[in-house]
């Protein structure tokens, strides 16, 4: 089960300063991807590498604002470090030992605006009411954070709809063909592998029973009988 929203790393400048690298916030990712278009249009690897260095310089706006120019960046880190920076900041993966052209490696691993409707995603997240304006949102959220937040929001919305539907006697999971794998897994864990799904009575034990308001150990008991023994329900 994933335990992190995104990968992070550190890079070291020539003077020993360590920079903690996380995915770029949307505000800087926009600038990064605009510059990255020049990498796609480049006519040689040397030209592509030059534009990649310009892209890396943009990331310093987030990680180390005192580095403002491409020349200052190149005075502080080498190309392998720039490649590592591009990987963890924007998912641009380049293997300097590969025989494949740098331009090809970069453009085949990088994201583009064609793959998503950023305005729509931001609008949905903005409805949470945490940010005063979109600039504040873009300055505080990276793409992985937006995706994770949207997933949590949509899961919560679905749970609320499921509850309201259940009040009307409608099984929303069944109606939509969507099962709850998480609840079924918990049922098997709580029952020691005996319950087939979350509706099985043996799943209602301990804290699971407490949340449900009843169950084994919460006023409802059962006795496991041998097949040869007459059944006596307690």
154-195 pLDDT per residue, tens:
888 888 888 888 888 888 777 666 655 555 555 555 454 544
Q: What's residue 61's pLDDT?
A: 97
- Which helix (H) or strand (E) is 19 found in, with range? strand 18-21
> Among 6, 102, 15, 22, which residue's Cα sits nearest to residue 62?
22
Take residue 38 and report the two structure tokens written for it. 């020049």
Residue 112 has pLDDT above 90, yes or no: no
Region 133-157: mean pLDDT is: 91
Which two tokens mark 11?
């890079």
Nearest-angstrom CA–CA distance, 35 and 80: 20
pLDDT (tens digit per residue) in 64-86 = 999 999 999 999 999 999 999 99
Specify the range with the lowest mean pLDDT, choosing from 60-64, 142-146, 156-160, 215-219.
215-219
Q: Any idea what DSSP says for residue 220? A: B
Long-range CB contact pairs, 166-174, < 8 A, 24+? none
d(CA 101, CA 216): 64
Report H helices in the chain.
Answer: 26-41, 45-63, 70-74, 79-90, 102-109, 118-126, 134-140, 143-167, 172-176, 181-190, 206-212
Q: What is the DSSP string of 39-87?
A: HHH-SSHHHHHHHHHHHHHHHHHHH-TT--SHHHHHTT--HHHHHHHHH
pTM exceeds 0.85, yes or no: no
Of 234, 210, 212, whose CA–CA distance to 223 is shortest? 234
Domain ranges of the chain: 9-114, 118-175, 180-234
Q: Is 182 helix (H, G, I), strand (E, B) or coil?
A: helix
Provide the pLDDT for residue 6: 87
Q: Which residues of 195-220 are buried (b: 16+ CB within 10 A; e: fewer)?
A: beebeeebbbbeebbeeeeebbebee
- CA distance linking residue 28 with residue 14, whole number of Å: 24
Nearest-Å Rg of the Cα atoms of the chain is 26
- Tracing tokens 């190309």 back to the chain, one arrives at 79
């Amino acid at each position: 089960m994933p335990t992190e929203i995104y990968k992070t790393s550190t890079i070291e400048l020539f003077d020993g300063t360590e920079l903690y690298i996380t995915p770029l916030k949307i505000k800087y990712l926009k600038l990064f991807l605009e510059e990255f278009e020049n990498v796609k249009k480049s006519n040689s690897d040397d030209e592509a590498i030059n534009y990649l260095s310009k892209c890396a310089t943009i990331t310093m706006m987030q990680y180390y604002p005192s580095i403002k120019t491409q020349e200052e960046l190149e005075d502080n880190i080498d190309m392998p470090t720039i490649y590592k920076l591009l990987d963890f900041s924007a998912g641009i993966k380049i293997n300097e030992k590969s025989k494949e052209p740098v331009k090809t490696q970069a453009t085949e691993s990088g994201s583009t605006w064609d793959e998503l409707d950023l305005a729509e995603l931001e609008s949905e997240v903005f409805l949470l009411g945490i940010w005063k304006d979109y600039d504040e949102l873009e300055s505080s959220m990276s793409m992985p954070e937006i995706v994770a937040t949207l997933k949590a929001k949509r899961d919560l919305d679905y749970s609320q709809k499921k509850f309201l539907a259940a009040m009307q006697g409608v099984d929303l999971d069944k109606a939509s063909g969507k099962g709850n794998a998480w609840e079924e897994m918990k049922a098997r864990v709580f029952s020691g592998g005996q319950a087939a799904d979350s509706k099985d009575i043996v799943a209602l034990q301990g804290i699971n029973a407490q949340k449900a308001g009843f169950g084994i150990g919460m006023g409802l008991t059962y006795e496991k009988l041998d097949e040869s023994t007459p059944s006596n329900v307690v």
